[in-house]
Amino acid sequence: GRGWTQDLWGGQFPTAADLDAVAPENPAFFQAKSGHAAWVNSAALRAAGITTSTPDPDGGEILRDASGAPTGILLENAIDLVQRNVPDPDPETLADYIEYAQTAMLASGITAVHDFDNPSLLRAVQILRERGHLGMRIVKQINKAWLEPALESGIRSGFGDDWIRFGSLKLFADGALGPRTALMVDPYEGQPHNTGIAVVEPEEMLTLVSKASAAGLASTVHAIGDLAVRRVLDVFEQVRREEAERGVARDARRHRIEHVQIIHPMDAHRLAELEIIASMQPIHATSDWEVATRYWGEERCEYAYNARLQIDQGVRVAFGSDAPVEPFDPFKGIHAAVTRQRDGQPEGGWYPELRLTLDEALHGFTTGAAYAAGTEDRQGQIAEGYLADLLVLDRNPYEIPAGELADVGVVSTMVDGIWRSGEHS
């Protein structure tokens, strides 16, 4: 299962004993909403061989009680100690799941996705295409474990076609805000010894990003905390020097930082200087603002979820949802970008000076996302010669109050000139 957050339980993590009360025999595994923590029962700990003497893996942590015994909460790379025992669905079944999700996404107006799941999804998407049921475009990213075979197979950024194409190497520099594993320059409020977790250390990150770039593959690196963002920028700065020495244009390697949820003021200018894409999710700001204020404090939060800063400096910004962490409905994200509110709170918007215009928000979800995919010459706008991917809406977003943007409905969705969802399908 998936979707819990300790912030709904007073900020306290649950325990294996809590799950044992309802699942005493069978292993139980539940990922947090963020995907950066897992809650397991005692049976799952036993099945994975996790005991008091089990060391923390690199880039992960097994939470323990005062006696050193595992509590049932696993952070970051420690999640894999149990998750690797969970069987994956076979490709045909996974294709069925994707088709089910695709129906809902098309109905919400999504015509293309950037996928960061594991390699098994690639085969499932191919099966869906073979069935003639693939109705949206997929940009597939490559994880660390898949890098070597991918490069040996000649995979590069842009390899594929307009339905299934490869995007970039995907790495994780740190964790997330919710479990307080996002890597920070200064400690979390109320936790003077906690600055988060480095999921991949800078030396390894540089090796992987450099190798991928030399082979024609851009990199996307998850970075939420300000120290993680700094480390990723340091890596990209070195790789940009290497690319310049080889005569590789910056536009040919569209590196990006995924999330940029908080940036240190000393680093605020660096994405623009290095021409790094800021791939951000406006809806995170309106979901997280209370937790962010509690964990990071008001002063640091001036630089949190700050697409305004990046846009004003000329950074190319791509917007998305981070589904399943947040709802994939793009108009909920557009509403968040323009209002910095959820359900009318906070009044006036969270740091209202960081609100975006409707033009800026729409650009991030369309042209900006297409640029990140390397397809801005044929996606991201309605124009002659572009792919016939478009929506019919139930109202004009420019003629309604900003507070109603989250309620904009999709009447019909067209992909490749065919109505895939709605009244015309």
Maximum Cα interatomic distance, the chain, rounded to a whole number of Å: 67
Distance from the Cα of residue 423 to its chain's centroid: 31
Contacts 24+ apart (CB under 8 A), 401-406: 402/335, 402/338, 402/339, 402/358, 403/335, 403/339, 403/341, 403/344, 405/331, 405/334, 405/335, 405/338, 405/339, 405/358, 406/329, 406/331, 406/332, 406/334, 406/335, 406/336
| Domain coverage including residue 24 | 2-83
pLDDT digit string, tens, across residues 120-158: 899 999 999 999 999 999 999 999 999 999 999 999 999
Give the pLDDT band of residue 368 (cuts 50, 70, 90): very high
Question: What pLDDT, on a 0 to 100 scale, did the predictor assign at position 21?
Answer: 96
Residues 198, 101, single domain; the answer is yes
Residues 323, 233, single domain; the answer is yes
Give the pLDDT band of residue 8 (cuts 50, 70, 90): confident
Residues 272, 353, single domain; the answer is yes
Q: Which of 56, 83, 110 is the last residue of a domain?
A: 83
Identify the sign of the CA torsion 140, 145, 148, 153: negative
Residues 139, 214, single domain; the answer is yes
Residues 146, 13, single domain; the answer is no
Residues 144, 68, single domain; the answer is no
pLDDT digit string, tens, across residues 220-232: 999 999 999 999 9
In-domain check, residue 419: no
In-domain check, residue 132: yes
pLDDT digit string, tens, across residues 19-56: 999 999 999 999 999 999 999 999 999 999 999 999 99
425 pLDDT above the threshold of 70: no
From the CB of residue 74, how many other CB atoms can be counted at a distance below 10 Å? Answer: 32
Give the pLDDT band of residue 311 (cuts 50, 70, 90): very high
Range list of β-strands (E), 65-173:
70-76, 112-115, 137-143, 164-172
Q: What is the CATH number of the domain that holds 9?
A: 3.10.310.70
pLDDT digit string, tens, across residues 61-99: 999 999 999 999 999 999 999 999 998 899 999 999 999
pLDDT digit string, tens, across residues 375-404: 999 999 999 999 999 999 999 999 999 999
Give the pLDDT band of residue 10 (cuts 50, 70, 90): confident
User: How many angstroms separate the CA atoms of 345 and 349, rounded?
Assistant: 7
Paired tokens of 9: 């339980």
Residues 198, 281, single domain; the answer is yes
Residues 79, 95, single domain; the answer is no
Q: Which of 83, 117, 151 is the last residue of a domain?
A: 83
Cα–Cα nearest to 30, from 70, 83, 76: 83
Residues 185, 242, single domain; the answer is yes
Residues 188, 43, single domain; the answer is no
* Total domains, the chain: 2
Range list of β-strands (E), 87-215:
112-115, 137-143, 164-172
Paired tokens of 263: 């940036």
Instruction: Work out the average pLDDT over 87-114.
Output: 96
User: How many angstroms separate the CA atoms of 42 and 151, rounded?
Assistant: 40
Residues 144, 291, single domain; the answer is yes
Q: Out of 5-9, 49-53, 106-110, 196-200, pick the least confident.
A: 5-9
Q: Which of 53, 83, 113 is the last residue of a domain?
A: 83
pLDDT digit string, tens, across residues 321-341: 999 999 999 999 999 999 999
Instruction: Work out the average pLDDT over 173-194.
Output: 97
In-domain check, residue 425: no
What is the residue-averaged pLDDT of the chain? 97
Residues 326, 366, single domain; the answer is yes
